[in-house]
Amino acid sequence: MALPLGLAVLVLGLLVVALRSAGGPAVTPRTVEVSARPSPLPGAPPPGPAGPAGPGATTPGAAPAAPGSGTNAVPPGTPRLDTTTPKLKVTDLDGRFEVTVPRTWLSVPSMTPDSVVWQPLSQDANGTTSPSGFQFSVRWAPSGGCELEKCAEVKVADALKLKEPALSIKTSPDRVGDQPAVRLETSRGDQRLTAWVVVVGDRYWVPQLAGPAEKFDQLLADAQPVLATMSFG
């Protein structure tokens, strides 16, 4: 699904982050199953082509949704998306990080080296699932010796403002996994972006969620347990 123009501008803002010196082509992340794979939901999109993760690694599961998961109300007896329980452990050796994501997040091709991207599924009132207008991604690059606050300011916030000088960016301390992080929040039109910056050793990482403002808080709540699983090194 093509992203709206406003979201595309925000995503491109982070794509301008200095990744050139990382070098080498992106490596497709290897996925490791954590739990048994349930049957696909009715109306779910077919699994993507087989890759290093094995056939259909991102097939959505039919486990019951946890309370407060942010999915739309569905008729009784309709299988519901499990948007909160992480189901796939992703290890990227090139990026040196691990993260566990729900099975209902589709792995999609990234247009930028040194990054991985997922698109959460959405479910309408009759139980049909489809890709949402949201993207969750993780990208990384050499830190160049900068510490956390400076990396967040220079390599992420300033890069966003370079593309959109009028953007207002709110920053606050946060945590990603067991690491201190700087959280950045901004919006443009009806689109919102929240990103986190983590610095470990000689690299920094930028997990981010981008999508429509209307349901952003719901997806942000789904992303929090994913962020809690992240580790770097």
Per-residue pLDDT at 119: 93
Half-sphere exposure of 105 (CA within 13 A, CB side): 28
For residue 70, the model assigns a pLDDT of: 44
What pLDDT is attached to residue 134?
A: 95
Angle of CA points 215, 125, 211, to nearest 5°:
20
Q: What is the pLDDT of residue 47?
A: 39
pLDDT in tens, the chain (233 residues): 444 434 444 443 444 333 333 334 444 555 444 432 233 333 344 433 323 333 233 333 333 333 334 444 556 666 677 776 777 888 888 889 999 998 888 888 888 889 999 999 887 777 788 888 999 999 999 999 999 999 999 999 999 999 899 899 999 999 999 999 999 999 999 999 999 999 999 999 999 999 999 999 999 999 999 999 999 98
Which pLDDT belongs to residue 52? 30
pLDDT in the model for residue 110? 87
d(CA 119, CA 107): 6
Residue 132's nearest CA partner among 81, 68, 175 is 81
How high is the pLDDT of residue 79?
67
Q: For residues 177 and 227, is the Cβ–Cβ distance under 8 A?
A: yes
The per-residue pLDDT for 81 is: 73
Confidence (pLDDT) at 94: 83
Could you tell me the fold of the domain covering 5-20+29-36+60-232? Answer: Protein Transport Mog1p; Chain A (3.40.1000)
Q: What is the model's pLDDT at position 125?
A: 76
Q: Specify the pLDDT at position 71.
A: 44
Question: What does the block give as tokens for 31?
Answer: 């996925």
Q: What are phi and psi of 96, to 5 degrees?
A: 55, 55
CB 104 within 8 A of CB 88: no
